[in-house]
Amino acid sequence: MIRLGGGNIFQCDADDNSRKPLLSMLDEISEPILVPFLKWAGGKRWLTANYTHLFPTQFNKYFEPFLGSGAAFFYLRPSEAILSDANAELVNVYDQIRANWKLVELALKRHSRNHDEIYYYEERGRKHRAKHEKAAQFLYLNRTCWNGLYRVNLKGKFNVPIGTKDAVLLDTDDFEEASCALQKATLSTNDFEPILSLAKKNDFAFVDPPYVTRHNFNGFAKYNDKIFSWTDQQRLAQAIRTAALKGVQILLTNADHPSVRKLYAGLGRQVTLKRHSVLAADSENRGEITEIAILINYGASPP
Ligand SMILES: C[S@@+](CC[C@H](N)C(=O)[O-])C[C@H]1O[C@@H](n2cnc3c(N)ncnc32)[C@H](O)[C@@H]1O
């Protein structure tokens, strides 16, 4: 099977699931073919669609310590990757898509056939043992819950109510291809710190933490049972400094806030990113909000 994605042409062999670049650097291809299978707060599809020039084209290993829906990973499709997130249920979805995508898809089709309001709440309360069932349940709830939100109660149980979207299977689904892209990735459930410490000179890290500012936890802060705090943000800045000194190339995204700009002052180059936001549509921003990208070890050439 030959697919286009992230500026490269890949061949994915269904038998050994390996992926081989046939041609590279096709600048005219800007649309990623692999669309993330999850909808995730703070997801970076808009970044990979509109700011492709911020992603380096050459590096050794790829690191993504705040994986979420993996928009950057699926856009870049690097040949060697370390993918990690603190949310174990989320990482299980990637693991099962990689190892058992057919079983996950089968279970998801079952959810699709049964989906209605009563079934949603029954399934939300169900505890599966098989990992592929857990993965399919996660996908099902992600697609049908309110706004794709992920929230758990104090006992760690997912408690988001049903949303307005009914589609359980999406036109963009290509679990076989996603499995193929994940074959050479190392997956881990972890805090960002030990993961970033593995990166070496000429590796590339895309770092997209929950956005918190000095005085304010915004709505993106709570992804799981632990809140990403300002102390975590400071801890991250320190881990980034250490990685930067080792020569790791880093693209960090964050809230466009003076406290964040100050925290990362003197580290690489700060670039203002603009994106459309429905939430900001009524404000004086006219639907546009800003975030920042911090480019570290990009050399002199402007991306
Ligand atoms: C902004 S989202 C990443 C979005 C992702 N780039 C995408 O395109 O969907 C941040 C992620 O960080 C994870 N996270 C929160 N605290 C963490 C920690 N201490 N270490 C690693 N991951 C963490 C959350 O589970 C969430 O998936």
What's the CA-to-centroid distance between 222 and ligand 1, angstroms? 10
DSSP state of 133: H
SS3 of residue 295 by DSSP: strand
Cα dist. 104→113, 136, 217 in Å?
Answer: 14, 5, 35
CATH number among 2.40.128.260, 1.10.1200.10, 1.10.1020.10, 3.10.310.30, domain 87-176: 1.10.1020.10
Q: Is the pTM of this model over 0.85?
A: yes
Residue among 38, 47, 48, 67 whose CB has most ligand 1 atoms within 8 A, to mutate = 67
Which of 85, 89, 231, 254 for a ligand 1 pocket mutation test, highest count of atoms within 8 Å of Cβ? 85
**Atom 13, ligand 1: residue with shortest CA distance:** 66
Query: Residue 269: its pLDDT value, please?
Result: 96
pLDDT value, residue 176: 96
Closest-lying ligand 1 atom to the alpha carbon of residue 87: 25
pLDDT in tens, 77-110: 999 999 999 999 999 999 999 999 999 999 999 9
| Residue whose CA lies nearest to ligand 1 atom number 7 | 43
CB contact set of 86 (below 8 Å; sequence gap of 6+): 189, 190, 191, 192, 223, 224, 226
CATH superfamily ID and name for 32-86+190-296: Vaccinia Virus protein VP39 (3.40.50.150)
State residue 124's pLDDT score.
98
pLDDT score recorded for residue 277: 76
Nearest CA to ligand 1 atom 27: 68
pLDDT given for residue 280 in this prediction? 54
Protein residue whose Cα sits closest to atom 5 of ligand 1 = 68
pLDDT of residue 284: 58
Closest CA to 38 of 122, 131, 104: 104
**Residue of the CA atom closest to atom 12 of ligand 1:** 66
Query: pLDDT value at position 29?
Result: 45
Q: Give the pLDDT score at 225.
A: 44
Pocket of ligand 1 (CB under 6 A): 40, 42-44, 65-66, 68-69, 71, 85-87, 191-192, 208-210, 223-224, 228, 232
| For the chain, domain boundaries | 1-30, 32-86+190-296, 87-176
Nearest ligand 1 atom to alpha carbon 206: 6
Q: What is the DSSP string of 51-94?
A: -GGGS-S--SSEEESS-TT-HHHHHH--SSEEEEES-HHHHHHH
From first to last of the 303 residues of the chain, give the pLDDT tens digit.
333 344 344 445 434 444 444 444 444 444 447 999 999 999 999 999 999 999 999 999 999 999 999 999 999 999 999 999 999 999 999 999 999 999 999 999 999 999 999 999 999 999 999 999 999 999 999 999 999 999 998 888 999 999 999 999 999 999 999 999 999 999 999 999 999 999 999 999 999 999 987 765 444 444 444 689 999 999 999 999 999 999 999 999 999 999 999 999 999 999 999 998 766 555 555 678 999 999 999 987 666
Please state the atom number of ligand 1 nearest to the C-alpha of residue 85.
Answer: 22
Chain segment 133-173, per-residue pLDDT in tens: 999 999 999 999 999 999 998 888 999 999 999 999 999 99
Q: For residue 38, report the distance from its CA to the centre of ligand 1, in Å.
A: 13
* pLDDT score recorded for residue 288: 85
Residue nearest to atom 19 of ligand 1 (CA): 191
